[in-house]
Structure 1
Amino acid sequence: MTHSYLPTKLLLCIFSLSLATINPFVTSAQNFALATENIASGGIKGLVRSTDGNPVGFVNIYIKGSNKGAVSSEDGKFHIKNLKEGEYTLVATFIGLEAQEIQIAVTNNETSSAEFTLPKSSQQLTEVMVTATRSKNKTPVTMGKIAIAPLDLPQSVTIVNSQVIADQQASKLSDVIKNVNGVSLGTTRGTTSETFFARGYNLGANNIMRNGARVNSGAIPEASTLEKVEVLKGSAALLYGNVSGGAVINMVTKQPKFEYGGEVSLRAGSYNLWKPIVDVYGPISKNLAFRIIGTYETAESYRKNVESKRLYVNPSLLYKLGAKTEILVQGDYLKADLTPDFGIGTLDSKIPTSISRSSFYNAPWAYNEIEQRTASVNINHQINNSWKLSVMGSNQVFDRDYFSTERIQALANGDWGRKLTRSKIAEDYYTGQVNLTGSFNTGALEHKLLVGTDAERYLNTSNTFNIASLGKDGVYDTINILNPTKFVARTDEPLATNTTRTETPTYRFGSYVQDLIKISEKFKILAGLRWSYQKTVAAKTYDVATDAQTPNATAADRYDRAFSPRVGIVYQPVSNTAFFASYSNNFTPNTGRDIFNENLAPSIIDQYEVGIKNDFFNDKLSANFTLYRIINNNLAQQAQYLADGVTINTDANIKELTGQTTSDGAEIDLSGNLTQGLNFLAGYSYNFMRYTQTSGENGSYKEGERLVSNPAHTANATLFYTLPTSALKGLKVGISGFYTGERNAGWNTTHVVTPKPDGTVERTLNYRLVPVTGFTTLDLSLGYNIKQFSILGKISNITNELNYYVHENYSVNPIPPRQFVTTVSFRF
């Protein structure tokens, strides 16, 4: 099957807009140049580099004794225009460094060249800028694939930097994402991994990146290696393809340095948490540097009989092939063993709040064992001062071995017949991309151009097992969650025999072009187009004993092709304020298959976004506001039942298209560093995602009802203050608060159409929502730094709030109670 989606009118508008803007501006620019030729027609163009040859952005460049100047862009370039002929003193200033001066001559009708070399490496300068808390609106995100400051982007961006990650003692990705408003934490079956919801959409594996490459979301990512986390909200389909409309999360890891150093730390906390962390970096030779980060974590839990063990290693090498080319090779290895935990479950489809937060109902032998290996190589080549070529390739191998009891759905009296699930899943994922970025002028218009292509190959392998010694209806045994002594629970692990293996390959390819056009100092236009191709191969099933393929006459390969356009406009009335509006359209290829084992059709998503971004008090405070609407023509969800309409579906890869949804929302972001030592981050979001068009037939969803798992309101705030002077210099105090509003678990309400003997039909609604209240947690931190030593302690959930993360209507996991954690570190 082949499908193409192309909003022709919109594309014609984009190209017409480009032609309409270029021609008059080129003409007017030529006339203006002739009129001013004899007044002030000279200029200075230049580049700022570090001692290791890398470009340095955000350096202030100005003409001594005048008010003319510029700020270097992320690629180190600056341009001062309209200078009269003569001799000038050019001054460069950067945070924490002494000003540099050079003499330069300017001639009419010519542009002179200048270059500054700052006396530190790029890594050292980056650390200086992070310490100074550079405005987030002026910090380009890696996942943007081109150095564009968020102030110039018609899209909402959030960055959580290394300082916040360290201050909050984050150990996993969810600890970091709590600081991103509009992104809420959910849960999965058995709490074996983390899942996030943004703007109403579940962010699965397609929306999680590491250093710009897609990664598996089945393992909880390690946070000890993170330099920062970038969140590009809304659609990022033009850059990555095959992503939902909610957000894209990019984890940026720490990289090698050309000076020796590192840190050794020990983290310990409640419930026997022990986590040593080692981070060592330095040069191997003049052009080769290394970094290796390793950690081992072992912990019990506030949940009885639940424990986890994690081993993580992240080595990397950075090789500088001359002044213009660098090669970064990275790898990581994660081995994680975690007890599957369905929490306290439901009682007659309701949350049994009378049950203890620590109650555990899984079998004592249950296990979830994960092994993940990743390797990547990034090659960056600075062709000249204007153009850069980047090449990246990566491979990830993921294996999960799982055996556990299933869905805790007890009867009203507490009885629950425990069933079992045995699964073994493997994923092999290759990805590659090539990007060419550059800047140039066409008349009076300035361009920042991105041209790129990417390709992916994804192979999912799943296994089916026969489990021995089960009773009627596949029940392992029966227990009572209200009265544990009512029945004698089984403790033996049944024999599970692997019977079949199913392989599902997917191939993706995309090409894209994006141009940021600077029309004037106040107006910019961002326009782009992506062409995507995806081939989803029909699943092939093999008999494990004979390795013979099982015939599947109904399944067929699926081919999807589509154009994804994007256009936005930015208006900057002053240098630190930007109004923006944007539109994007993309298709999301839906992975998995339907109840008839056919591949799913893609979903088409339209997104509209407007907002304002502000920097105040010399970039010490950023305040941004965003409004959005996202329309999905046919949302894919996990199917509720199998083809017989009776058997409950437990396979997350079996899905259904459920109808049109609309997601409306608003977001407020605040961040800053108002005074030395004081850092804060805060935000609030509102979201209303509901079904807006369904068939109204049997099994279809009720229109106007908020989708499950999506809170209407979320908010976050964190404040840390380190005393810079006095006898208590180095004392750090911090407080963080996180709010998740009311939401529904279970399943959305569906229509039930029952034929009657008289030929008419009776229409009713099947209500299966599980209401969950909102909650707020507060964390208090206290620490002290002295020379190379530091100690930082935190009490989380200081009010001992009790609430739940709920997956559908059976995995009900209480949030962690009040806990203590402390980290002792030595830097060298």
Structure 2
Amino acid sequence: MQLSRLSAALFRLNSLNVSGASLRLASIPSRLVSTKSLPLKSLCSVIILTTSHSAWALVDDVDAQTTPNVVLDTIVVTSSADASADGLPSAYEGGQVATGSRVGLLGNQDIMDTPFSTTSYTNEYITNQQAHSVGDLLKKDSTVRVARGFGNFQEAYFMRGFVTTSDDTMFNGLYGILPRQYIATELFERIEVQRGASAMLNGAAPSGGNAGGTINLLPKRADNEPLRQLALGYGQGDQSKVAVDVSDRFGSDDAIGVRFNAAYQDGDSAIDDESSTLGLAALGLDYRGDQYRLSADLGWQDNKLSETRPSVTLAGVSHVPKAPDGSKNWAQPWSYSNEEDVFGTIRGEYDFNDSITGYGAYGIRHGDEDNSLANLTVSDADGTGSTYRFDNVREDKVQSAELGLRGQWQTGKIDHNWVLAADLYDQEEKGAYAFDFGNQLATNLYRPTDYDNAWSDTAFFGGNFDNPKRTSETQLQSFALADTFSLFDDKLKTTVGVRHQNIKTTSYDYNTQAKTADYDESALTPSVGIVYQPTMDWSVYGNYIESLAKGAAAPLVDNSGNAITNAGQNLDPYVSKQTELGVKYDNGVIGSSFAIFHTDEPRAYIDDNNTFTATGENRHQGAELTVFGSPSENMRLNAGVTYLSAKQKDTGDSALDGNSVIGLPTLQSNVNLEYDLAAVEGLTLTGDIIHTGARYADAANTLKVDGYTTLDLGARYRTMLAGQDVTLKGMVTNVTGEDYWQSVGGLPGYGYLNAGEPTALKVSATFDF
């Protein structure tokens, strides 16, 4: 499209006199304009008025008409978390999701231009949902289900049936920089979900997950307009919260940006005897010049949990115990979990010329954890069970970096966008632990018994709690090359790439510091993706891509105590292979994505020769449908449904072959709806319906956990108080009071249960000064 055509279209639309028609304000998707005639970074703020016809059709309609010359207003480019010249992709109609997101080393891409399934949730949506953690927000995504780590309170996410832990969440494209267990949403501008395997795009995840998807969180930046915001919140159980968010720009052309936000939360929750304290602060700086851009972040989060309700492990039961009342707690009164992290990053981008840009980033985190835990094991469906004390401390020091070049070139009529990247991840972990497994304390799920926290004579210890020693080191190094070449005026785009990844880990004895295991293996992970856009509203895509994880180590003995022939040997890296086909629709008002996928994940077992071998697989197949946007001027929709078939294959045990993988429902769906009430200006009603089907808590599929459906209702009201903008929000979770098991598992091969949330009220007030 030529700039003159766009100008003509804007003039004509501005002059339209449509009787009885409702005019809508919508953004022009970036793909409507050829970058050959108008740079994308000069189009960020262009808006048009459109009737029910698409913007593309209206522009074509004015092509042959004579129109006066129109001078467009100067367009101000917004700052970007990744220090790019184009800034963040704009928000989609309705403001809940963005029109694009970061796709690993390929950078920011429009939804319709990428051969992968992605969603980027905006800060507006995060705050309107009153989401306190990343998990609070992602439970509203129909392709994600939130679980819990093994033995602790870490958030974990089922994506396409695979577990992605918060360890493997990315911060502005870097692994390992964020707090390891709980991540508060006040720190972020956007939460990006990239579904499916991603080794070529992002490199191997530190903990070996991400076969089903990757979560990338973007820090806040100073916008073009100053921000002065104060938020007060209150939750059922006497949980109070205060948060501030301020920003401004300085210097010539407002080139320097500063954004600071902080929050403090303290009090009891809606669950009996459970309480938490959260403190956080983040400073984001950026500089945007004509030839180079810089940004930096410094963050701190201190999360303290007291008497948090633990998970439930099943042992020897014939059927799954009934889910307890959502407000009940079986935690021991002395149990707690504390986590404090300090982290920072710096990122830069430099344009060598109009065709080549260099970029680099470096991040570091120091984390401290201190826990005293007592998880519950239930041995009878009447709730009878036992618990024992387990304490541990952990220190993490993580460094993460990336360096790359990206550019454009042309061969004949083929346009190329290429990127060359190198990534480095280094982690040192220190720790100590204490088990009192021999001192089993009798209790009950429904009628818990409290005990003191004294250690028994049977307790055993590893390491020094006052001075924990090194327990493991992880180093990930990779080099990647990718090229996206375009044909037929960008209607057909093909992305090919490959990454060479080295995985090196070393484990040490907690006391002697002697090496107990060493792993050093490499692998190549290729990828190809194709997108075809027959019209501006539709695109069809497909991809083949892999994920990569460290291979398992052979155990010393089998379940019968017989020696393993290759005891201690490390298997080659596990490569999960994914194929995906999909179709996307976007008319500027409503967007939708449908994908079908197939992923084979390797597994290992002890064969007939008592050798531990990488044989067999878990096969995950499914379909995902998401819908988002604004169906009418006063309504916003974010909904979807996922069908999943995840089966165990070639397990070495015929009784398990063909069974469902632990913790995964066949069907899950979400509907989030917002409606602006015309009778009361500024009032918006909100509702969420979340459905999760039945799951199994064991590999034999004898322990079936019922599915559940929950309803959340809320409202927000925008008004003026003393001349200041104020937004009041309220939400009631689990309105119907359903008692349910929210998640099953969260660590592959384990089927522990996590109880669902009770009915609870949370309210907040946000003041803009």
**TM-score interval w.r.t. the shorter chain?**
0.7 to 0.9
Compared with structure 1, are the counterparts of its residues 422 and 73 closer, same or farther at alpha carbon in structure 2 (3 Å cutoff)? same
1:226 aligns with 2:167: no
SS at match of 1:175: helix
8 Å contact kept, 1:716–1:739: yes
Distance of 1:66 and 1:790 partners within structure 2 = 37
Distance of 2:727 and 2:601 partners within structure 1 = 49
SS at match of 1:230: strand
Match of 1:650 in 2: none
Give the deviation of 1:72 after TM superposition. Answer: 8.8
Give the deviation of 1:371 after TM superposition. Answer: 1.0
Distance of 1:394 and 1:715 partners within structure 2 = 36
- Out of 667, 670, 674, the position equivalent to 2:624 is 667
Give the deviation of 1:361 after TM superposition. Answer: 3.0
Distance of 2:554 and 2:452 partners within structure 1 = 35
Give the deviation of 1:482 after TM superposition. Answer: 5.5
Give the deviation of 1:626 after TM superposition. Answer: 0.6
Moved more, 490-499 or 704-713: 490-499
8 Å contact kept, 2:413–2:487: yes
Query: What is the number of residues matched between the two proteins?
Result: 691
Match of 1:748 in 2: 699
Match of 2:691 in 1: 739
Match of 1:430 in 2: 399
Compared with structure 1, are the counterparts of its residues 419 and 658 closer, same or farther at alpha carbon in structure 2 (3 Å cutoff)? farther
Match of 2:109 in 1: 148
- Out of 513, 532, 550, the position equivalent to 1:549 is 513
Distance of 1:91 and 1:231 partners within structure 2 = 25
Match of 1:647 in 2: none
The C-alpha deviation readout for 1:163-188, integer Å capped at 9, x for no partner, is: 22122111111121123222111223
Distance of 2:29 and 2:704 partners within structure 1 = 52
1:620 aligns with 2:589: yes
Match of 1:713 in 2: 667
Distance of 2:368 and 2:569 partners within structure 1 = 25
1:655-804 matched pairs, under 5 angstroms: 659-696=616-653, 702-722=656-676, 728-745=680-697, 747-749=698-700, 769-787=702-720, 788-804=725-741
SS at match of 1:574: coil
SS at match of 1:302: coil
Identity %: 20
- Out of 232, 236, 246, the position equivalent to 2:198 is 236
- Out of 333, 342, 345, the position equivalent to 1:373 is 342
SS at match of 1:238: helix
Match of 1:611 in 2: 582
Give the deviation of 1:91 after TM superposition. Answer: 11
SS at match of 2:35: strand
What amino acid sits opposite 2:508 in the alignment? K
What amino acid sits opposite 2:196 in the alignment? G
The C-alpha deviation readout for 1:431-477, integer Å capped at 9, x for no partner, is: 10013222221110111222211111122223233x6xx6xx61153
The C-alpha deviation readout for 1:561-599, integer Å capped at 9, x for no partner, is: 111111122222112211112212343225888566655
Match of 1:520 in 2: 488
Match of 1:323 in 2: 290
8 Å contact kept, 2:32–2:536: no
Match of 1:204 in 2: 165
Distance of 1:572 and 1:192 partners within structure 2 = 44
8 Å contact kept, 2:200–2:525: yes
SS at match of 1:429: strand
8 Å contact kept, 1:451–1:513: yes
Runs of at least 5 residues in structure 2 that lack an aligned partner in the other structure: 14-26, 50-69, 81-85, 557-566
Give the deviation of 1:401 after TM superposition. Answer: 0.9
SS at match of 2:534: strand
Match of 1:826 in 2: 767
Match of 1:441 in 2: 410
8 Å contact kept, 1:687–1:713: yes
Distance of 1:568 and 1:463 partners within structure 2 = 45
The C-alpha deviation readout for 1:363-385, integer Å capped at 9, x for no partner, is: 21111111111110111223333
- Out of 78, 86, 95, the position equivalent to 1:122 is 78
Give the deviation of 1:606 after TM superposition. Answer: 1.3
Compared with structure 1, are the counterparts of its residues 557 and 408 closer, same or farther at alpha carbon in structure 2 (3 Å cutoff)? closer
1:528-677 matched pairs, under 5 angstroms: 528-537=497-506, 539-543=507-511, 548-550=512-514, 555=516, 557-590=518-551, 599=570, 601-616=572-587, 619-634=588-603, 659-677=616-634
Give the deviation of 1:806 after TM superposition. Answer: 4.6
The C-alpha deviation readout for 1:599-655, integer Å capped at 9, x for no partner, is: 553212111100111113xx111121111100123269xx9xxxx9xxxxxxxxxx9
Distance of 1:670 and 1:796 partners within structure 2 = 23
1:474 aligns with 2:438: yes
Distance of 1:614 and 1:75 partners within structure 2 = 14
- Out of 245, 248, 255, the position equivalent to 1:279 is 245
Give the deviation of 1:94 after TM superposition. Answer: 1.2
Match of 2:474 in 1: 506
What amino acid sits opposite 1:332 in the alignment? G
The C-alpha deviation readout for 1:516-564, integer Å capped at 9, x for no partner, is: 1112133221111111112223x12253xxxx534x5xx5532211111
Match of 1:186 in 2: 147
Distance of 1:62 and 1:144 partners within structure 2 = 37
The C-alpha deviation readout for 1:655-687, integer Å capped at 9, x for no partner, is: 996731111000101111233342211111111
1:288 aligns with 2:256: yes
Compared with structure 1, are the counterparts of its residues 283 and 63 closer, same or farther at alpha carbon in structure 2 (3 Å cutoff)? closer
Compared with structure 1, are the counterparts of its residues 163 and 257 closer, same or farther at alpha carbon in structure 2 (3 Å cutoff)? closer
8 Å contact kept, 2:241–2:265: yes
8 Å contact kept, 1:634–1:657: yes
Runs of at least 5 residues in structure 1 that lack an aligned partner in the other structure: 1-42, 47-58, 82-89, 98-113, 645-654, 750-766
- Out of 299, 314, 319, the position equivalent to 1:332 is 299
Give the deviation of 1:158 after TM superposition. Answer: 1.6
Q: What TM-score comes out, normalization by structure 1 length?
A: 0.76
Give the deviation of 1:812 after TM superposition. Answer: 3.4
Match of 2:451 in 1: 490
Give the deviation of 1:148 after TM superposition. Answer: 2.7
Moved more, 803-812 or 445-454: 803-812
What amino acid sits opposite 1:819 in the alignment? A
SS at match of 2:109: coil
Compared with structure 1, are the counterparts of its residues 302 and 662 closer, same or farther at alpha carbon in structure 2 (3 Å cutoff)? same
8 Å contact kept, 1:447–1:517: yes
Q: What TM-score comes out, normalization by structure 2 length?
A: 0.81
Match of 1:249 in 2: 215
What's the RMSD between the two structures over aligned residues?
3.7
8 Å contact kept, 1:407–1:811: no
Compared with structure 1, are the counterparts of its residues 327 and 137 closer, same or farther at alpha carbon in structure 2 (3 Å cutoff)? closer
What amino acid sits opposite 1:741 in the alignment? G
The C-alpha deviation readout for 1:259-283, integer Å capped at 9, x for no partner, is: 4322101011211121111101113
SS at match of 1:370: strand
Distance of 1:219 and 1:592 partners within structure 2 = 25
8 Å contact kept, 1:296–1:311: yes
8 Å contact kept, 2:188–2:219: yes
Distance of 2:659 and 2:761 partners within structure 1 = 40
- Is the radius of gyration larger for structure 1 or structure 2? 1
Compared with structure 1, are the counterparts of its residues 591 and 265 closer, same or farther at alpha carbon in structure 2 (3 Å cutoff)? farther
1:10-89 matched pairs, under 5 angstroms: 60=6, 78-80=35-37
Distance of 2:45 and 2:321 partners within structure 1 = 62
What amino acid sits opposite 2:505 in the alignment? T
What amino acid sits opposite 2:649 in the alignment? T
What amino acid sits opposite 2:114 in the alignment? L
What amino acid sits opposite 1:625 in the alignment? F
Match of 1:49 in 2: none
The C-alpha deviation readout for 1:725-770, integer Å capped at 9, x for no partner, is: x77321111112111111112x312xxxxxxxxxxxxxxxxx6x43
